[in-house]
């Protein structure tokens, strides 16, 4: 098995799929890339058993189709040091040794039989749909920070995709905060749902950030496949029933505070520096059109207080929130103004963009209050 490939192109494609490889693997074979030469095309795969990524590279002078596993770290690290040039790969079919030739030298690494690399799952009885990269990126980007880390509740560690005939809803929650993001410009012929784990979401987020075309999404009850240009991501879905998120979103919220988002965010960031390091609690008190934000840490005698002007409809109110959650949410909203809708000090507050710039998207962020010390 022989082929010649551009060093720069190979490095770029390997970096695109290297994110799926874990830093420490229980199976040594997962520390390798799988190279498979077929005709004039070279397919390269990387896997962590749960997720597999595949990319393709054009080669010149491909001889003898075949497959081999090549250690990922030494290959990637050495490619970073090469100037753009053709590299020649020559693989010994008997012992799987890999010899790489450049303009100035030769390098050898021990390869491994391709038979040891995990086989791809077949996605049978699947649903297929095309999705705009911008819409999918929006759903993942808006929801990812709200996913949970509790190993006892794995369904809450991923993003819930709920596909309807007239829209697609993305939901993430960790029981303290919740994000619901709707896209009315996405639809499918058949209604379905699945929970995509955190790692594939992170991989997709990095891939989609610079991709503008439609992507293909194929899924069944156990696996999903995303085709982004020449890159495929195939991953196992989280098994389980997602909690009834609609039940926790309060429908009646008569108290509505509207304020400049950046001003609100910067103030919370400042005030939170003086809050208790365990609870991160900040106190919001609204009287008329004045919003008071305060925090204190009795252990260190820290205290901070600021007053802001806001638009407010409703009864005077005092409510406490975890400042870290508010900062995350406000940082993930892009509008100039934001509205905080509340019903009572012991019920969840809802953050929504004050001016929805995109008619196709609708986002609601819910944050649970923390009990105030009187």
For 268, phi then psi, to 5°, come to -60, -40
Tens-digit pLDDT profile for residues 115-126: 999 998 888 888
Rounded to an integer, what is the distance from CA 78 to the centroid of its chain? 29
Q: What is the pLDDT of residue 121?
A: 85
254 and 233 belong to one structural domain: no
Q: What is the pLDDT of residue 186?
A: 81
Nearest to 170 by CA among 208, 142, 203: 142
Q: Which residue has the tokens 């639809």?
A: 187
- pLDDT tier, 357 (very low <50, low <70, confident <90, very high otherwise): low
- Asked whether residue 356 carries a pLDDT value surpassing 70, the answer given is no
Q: How far apart are CA 88 and CA 100, in angstroms?
A: 6
Per-residue pLDDT averaged across 308-319, rounded? 94
86 and 131 belong to one structural domain: no
Q: What is the pLDDT of residue 126?
A: 84
Q: What is the pLDDT of residue 73?
A: 95
Which helix (DSSP H) or strand (DSSP E) does residue 162 occupy?
strand 159-163
Q: What is the pLDDT of residue 323?
A: 96
* Domains: count for the chain: 3
305 and 292 belong to one structural domain: yes
Q: Is 368 helix (H, G, I), strand (E, B) or coil?
A: coil
Q: What is the pLDDT of residue 374?
A: 59
Domain boundary residue among 246, 269, 284?
Answer: 246
Tens-digit pLDDT profile for residues 184-227: 888 778 899 999 999 999 999 999 988 889 999 999 999 999 99
Whether residue 152 contacts residue 145, with contact meaning beta carbons closer than 8 Å, is answered with: no
163 and 267 belong to one structural domain: no
- Asked whether residue 277 carries a pLDDT value surpassing 70, the answer given is yes
Q: How far apart are CA 374 and CA 357, in angstroms?
A: 40
Nearest to 364 by CA among 249, 229, 225: 249
207 and 291 belong to one structural domain: no
Q: How far apart are CA 134 and CA 270, in angstroms?
A: 33
Whether residue 338 contacts residue 351, with contact meaning beta carbons closer than 8 Å, is answered with: yes
Q: Which residues contact 239 (CB under 8 A, 6 or more apart)?
A: 222
Q: How far apart are CA 308 and CA 310, in angstroms?
A: 6
77 and 150 belong to one structural domain: no
Q: What is the pLDDT of residue 39?
A: 79
Q: How far apart are CA 65 and CA 60, in angstroms?
A: 13
Question: Looking at the domain assignment, is residue 344 inside a domain?
Answer: yes
- Asked whether residue 40 carries a pLDDT value surpassing 90, the answer given is no
211 and 308 belong to one structural domain: no
Percent of the chain with pLDDT over 70: 99
Question: Looking at the domain assignment, is residue 54 inside a domain?
Answer: yes
Lowest mean pLDDT across 58-62, 147-151, 196-200:
58-62
Lowest mean pLDDT across 50-59, 187-196, 349-358:
349-358
132 and 84 belong to one structural domain: no
Q: What is the pLDDT of residue 359?
A: 73
Nearest to 117 by CA among 199, 54, 64, 45: 45
- Asked whether residue 361 carries a pLDDT value surpassing 90, the answer given is no
- Domain that includes residue 205, residue range: 127-246
133 and 242 belong to one structural domain: yes
Q: Which residue has the tokens 């919003």?
A: 291
Q: How far apart are CA 169 and CA 185, in angstroms?
A: 11
Domain boundary residue among 116, 139, 164?
Answer: 116
Question: Looking at the domain assignment, is residue 136 inside a domain?
Answer: yes
82 and 180 belong to one structural domain: no
CATH of the domain at 22: 3.10.150.10
Per-residue pLDDT averaged across 333-346, rounded? 93
Domain boundary residue among 216, 246, 276?
Answer: 246
Question: Looking at the domain assignment, is residue 278 inside a domain?
Answer: yes
Question: Looking at the domain assignment, is residue 121 inside a domain?
Answer: no
Nearest to 225 by CA among 298, 120, 145, 152: 120
219 and 329 belong to one structural domain: no
Question: Looking at the domain assignment, is residue 277 inside a domain?
Answer: yes
Whether residue 330 contacts residue 349, with contact meaning beta carbons closer than 8 Å, is answered with: no
Question: Looking at the domain assignment, is residue 122 inside a domain?
Answer: no
- pLDDT tier, 151 (very low <50, low <70, confident <90, very high otherwise): confident
Q: What is the pLDDT of residue 185?
A: 85
Nearest to 242 by CA among 201, 177, 196: 196
Instruction: Name the average pLDDT for the chain.
Output: 93
Per-residue pLDDT averaged across 140-146, rounded? 95
131 and 228 belong to one structural domain: yes
Lowest mean pLDDT across 73-87, 180-194, 324-338:
180-194
């Amino acid at each position: 098995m022989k082929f010649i490939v551009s060093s720069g192109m190979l490095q770029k494609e390997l970096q695109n799929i290297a994110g799926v490889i874990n830093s420490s693997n229980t199976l040594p074979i997962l520390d390798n890339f799988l190279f498979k030469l077929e005709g004039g095309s070279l397919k390269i795969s990387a896997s962590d058993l749960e997720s597999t990524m595949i990319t393709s590279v054009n080669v010149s002078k491909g001889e003898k189709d075949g497959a081999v596993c090549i250690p990922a770290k030494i290959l990637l690290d050495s490619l970073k040091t090469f100037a753009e040039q053709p590299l020649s790969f020559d693989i010994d079919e008997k012992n799987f040794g890999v010899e790489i030739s450049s303009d100035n030298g030769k390098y050898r690494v021990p390869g491994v039989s391709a038979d040891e690399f995990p086989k791809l799952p077949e996605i049978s009885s699947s649903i297929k749909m095309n999705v705009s990269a911008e819409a999918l990126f929006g759903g993942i980007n808006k929801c990812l920070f709200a996913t949970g880390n509790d190993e006892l509740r794995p369904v809450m560690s991923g993003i819930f995709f709920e596909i309807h005939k007239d829209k697609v809803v993305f939901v993430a929650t960790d029981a303290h905060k919740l994000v619901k993001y709707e896209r009315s410009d996405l639809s499918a012929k058949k209604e379905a749902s699945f929970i995509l784990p955190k790692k594939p979401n992170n991989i997709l987020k990095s891939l989609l950030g610079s991709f503008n075309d439609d992507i293909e999404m194929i899924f069944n009850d156990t696996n999903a496949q995303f085709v982004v240009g020449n890159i495929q991501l195939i991953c196992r879905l989280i098994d389980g029933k997602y909690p009834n998120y609609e039940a926790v979103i309060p429908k009646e919220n008569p108290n509505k505070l509207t304020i400049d988002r950046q001003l609100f965010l910067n103030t919370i960031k400042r005030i939170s520096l003086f809050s208790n390091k365990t609870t991160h609690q900040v106190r919001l008190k609204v009287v008329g059109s004045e919003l008071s934000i305060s925090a204190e840490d009795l252990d260190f005698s820290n205290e901070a207080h600021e007053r802001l002007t806001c638009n407010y409809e409703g009864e005077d109110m005092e409510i406490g929130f975890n400042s870290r959650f508010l900062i995350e949410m406000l940082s993930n909203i892009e509008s100039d103004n934001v509205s905080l809708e509340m019903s009572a000090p012991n019920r969840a507050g809802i953050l929504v963009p004050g001016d929805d710039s995109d008619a196709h998207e609708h986002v609601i962020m819910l944050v649970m209050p923390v009990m105030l010390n009187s």
